[in-house]
Amino acid sequence: MMRRGWTLERALFTLAGGMTLLSAMLAWLVSPWFLLLTAFVGLNQWLFAAVGDCPASLVLRRVCHLRPAASAAHEPGVAPGAR
């Protein structure tokens, strides 16, 4: 099985999880105000689920050239189910 890289959704889940863990750790060690970062991450996750885009997804598409899993599965030369 050949892997072609990360999809947009996988990168977003990784970024959101990392930011959530970082903000929880900073809230515990530095200031509870860092929980606002956790709320911001959660709001962006809801935005992505509802609309299909969030600020991080727009940046990842333009800078890293990542595509959603649905469009990545329809690449020419990639058999369905090969992901």
pLDDT in tens, 30-54: 999 999 999 999 999 999 999 989 9
- The answer to whether 9 and 74 are in contact (CB under 8 A) is no
* Number of continuous H segments (helices) and E segments (strands) in the chain: 4, 0
Q: What is the pLDDT of residues 2-29, one digit of tens each?
A: 467 888 899 999 999 999 999 999 999 9
Closest CA to 69 of 1, 11, 26, 2: 11
**Cα–Cα distance measured from residue 34 to residue 24, given in angstroms and rounded to the nearest whole number:** 7
Residue 48 structure tokens: 């992505």
pTM, rounded to two decimals: 0.73
